[in-house]
Amino acid sequence: MIAIGSDHAGFALKQAIMAHLKELGIDFKDYGTYDDKSCDYPDYAEAVCKAIIEGDAEKGILVCGTGIGISIAANRHREIRAAVCTDEFTARATREHNDANVICLGGRVVGEGVALGIIDAFLNTEFSNGANHVRRIAKLS
């Protein structure tokens, strides 16, 4: 299951991502926000990260205006490796090399088509499990 959340600035893009996941038959849960009224991104990062940490979700998708603030909030958790991605290459690389379990997008940065390609790359790429990568990830936590 994929946990997904956004603040008001990421709300529209989150809606498009959820429609895409539904089309692909990928199970997800929306942790808010549920409208485009101003709100605080750390609250939604916390909810998505908690779902992953507690084993209710395998991966997470977070969206705010730039992807940066919500990634900072997510990365406050030792078990979370959240990466801001703006293209498919970085989405694949962060899975292969960093075993990222959360992807962060900027609703004001990437368009819908690019965002859906990024999501597909993130969800369809496995961790390479190379010795160098495993060693480096161990140092993160």
Residues annotated as part of the active site:
64, 97
Phi–psi pair at 62, nearest 5 degrees: -125, 140
Instruction: Compute the distance between CA of residue 79 and CA of residue 100 in angstroms, rounded to an integer.
Output: 10
| Interior angle at CA 122, CA 117 and CA 124, nearest 5 | 95
Instruction: Compute the distance between CA of residue 26 and CA of residue 101 in angstroms, rounded to an integer.
Output: 16
How is residue 17 written in tokens? Answer: 């991502």
Residue 4 CB coordination number (10 Å): 26
Contact 84, 47 (CB under 8 A): no
